[in-house]
Amino acid sequence: MVKLDDLGNLRRTHLSNRITDQMEGQEVVVMGRVVDVRDLGGIKFFVLHDVGGAVQVTALKTKSGEEIISKINSLTQETSVAVRGKVVKARQAPRGVEIVPSEIRILNLAQVPLPLDPMGRVKANLDTRLDARAIDLRSPQALAIFRIRNKALQASRQYLLSRGFVEVHTPKIVATATESGAALFPISYFDREAFLSQSPQLYKEVLTGALDRVFEVGPIFRAEEHDTPRHLNEAISFDIEMAYATAEDVMNTLEKMVWQAFSDVEKYCQPDLKILGHSLKVPGEHFPRITYTEAIEMVGKAGVKIPWGEDLPTPAVKKLGELVGEAYFITDWPSEIKPFYTMPKKDNPKITESFDLMYGELELASGGTRVHQPDLLVKQLREKGLNPENFESHLLSYRYGLAPHSGWGLGLDRFTMVLTGMDNVRECVLFPRDRSRLTP
Ligand code: ATP
Ligand code: MG
């Protein structure tokens, strides 16, 4: 049995990537996970990985003393260690430096064998990786994905905050459906039935009456039985809603925010993009816009025929991605396939003031001008087969002067797919929830 050491008052002085050959002779303390342990006769070494990268720790059998050598002998991959030692130049080591240890603390010894190799040298399929997700997330690729996601989130937040938006949090336990009852997860709420919220839509709309411009980053729950690389049953939605604005205005906001996130990731995340082997192309500042009608004409000419009024199926959006490019808007959707709160066009109520933001074949966001007139909203609720009585508390604000407003919802997990070049959304979510996965 290997005895575990305490952290005590030892603290990290440097992350591995901060140790350079300029620091020759300096004492440092590093902490991280053991990756490779090697024994080359008189020399023992291991590679320590931390959130900065990796550094080699090398001990000479003749110089380092019994205790250090026997500790290195007991190390297994993924064991957490703290190492105090001197920086030494070493031509053969990665980055030209290594640490010669004067003290090693074994903080937690990893069992063998590992459920999977987070360094990816032994390849595991996605299901196996997700089963042991907490270990899988230790891989350099996962770290890169979640750092990029974090940068995009930070850039997006900053963009909106600097334009007067207020970040809000709306309830996730709700009494009624936003759109249709079919996609709701029911839960028991004391002696009543309630549901997990599928969208912050109704709340963010009424909040424009109070806070004017709001945004929310939060979970949405969809009980759809999808089995695709882009659908989850719990996703993170980045939503905005803006008073005194039209679809056109919020498309501009979306385009600028997305462009800012792309630019910041490109500027600050090069090492992470390199780990992922992804060469990110920042789109032009103005994304092309095509109408729904133009879109079905374009794909029709290319051999994918869609009757006007139907949603665009995968072959159609695949074709559009090829024809139109990477980031583009599809505008003016038929009323039939947009939710009840979508504003019809004045000159043709069969069409709405709405848009989807696409990236190639992937839908990233949906939005539009909303109906703010209470009578029209009640009429559209009925037309969609919904009972306005169930929306009485929502309608309150509309009956008392709620201003014209517009907004959108952007899928953060899907946006991360685009920024990282992943082709499955599960790679971009820490602990994905899909039809078959409820743990971990
Ligand atoms: P799709 O047609 O791709 O199923 P949707 O039109 O039903 O998406 P919206 O209700 O418009 O989705 O939600 C806004 C955004 O939230 C979507 O554009 C997408 O980026 C994200 N999103 C919606 N549902 C999911 C899901 N099940 N998994 C992951 N992201 C989702
Ligand atoms: Mg949509």
CA distance 6 to 107: 6
Respond yes or no: is residue 38 known to be catalytic: no
- Per-residue tokens: 232: 């989850």
Return all residues near 108 (Cβ < 8 A) that are at least 6 apart. 4, 79, 80
12 as an active site residue: the answer is: no
179, 204, 222, 238, best to mutate for ligand 1 pocket (most atoms within 8 Å of CB): 222
Q: What is the pTM of this model?
A: 0.96
Paired residues of 106 in beta bridges = 81
For 391-394, which contacts have Cβ atoms below 8 Å and span 24 or more sequence positions? 391/176, 391/202, 394/176, 394/202, 394/206
pLDDT of residue 180: 62
Q: Which CATH architecture has domain 16-108?
A: Beta Barrel (2.40)
Mean pLDDT taken over the chain: 96
pLDDT of residue 258: 98
Adjacency order of strands within the sheet including 234-243 = 166-167, 213-221, 234-243, 405-411, 362-369, 354-359, 327-331, 289-291
pLDDT at 41: 85
CA atoms within 13 A on the CB side of 352: 25
Q: Could you tell me the distance, in angstroms and rounded to a whole number, from the CA of residue 411 to the centre of ligand 1?
A: 6
Residues of the chain with pLDDT under 50: none
CATH of domain 135-288+325-428: 3.30.930.10
Residues with CB under 6 A from ligand 1: 222, 231-232, 235, 237, 363-366, 409, 411, 413-414, 425
Query: Which are the contacts of 21, defined by CB distance < 8 A and separation ≥ 6?
Result: 87, 89, 95, 96, 97
Catalytic residue among 224, 225, 285, 322: 224
Q: What local confidence, expressed as pLDDT, does residue 181 receive? A: 59
Domain ranges of the chain: 16-108, 135-288+325-428
| Catalytic residue chosen out of the listed positions 406, 414, 426, 427 | 414
The pLDDT of residue 92: 87
In whole angstroms, what is the distance from residue 283 CA to residue 414 CA? Answer: 16
**Strand, helix or coil for residue 288:** coil
In the chain, % of residues over pLDDT 90: 93
Q: Indicate which ligand has the atom closest to the C-alpha of 411.
A: 1
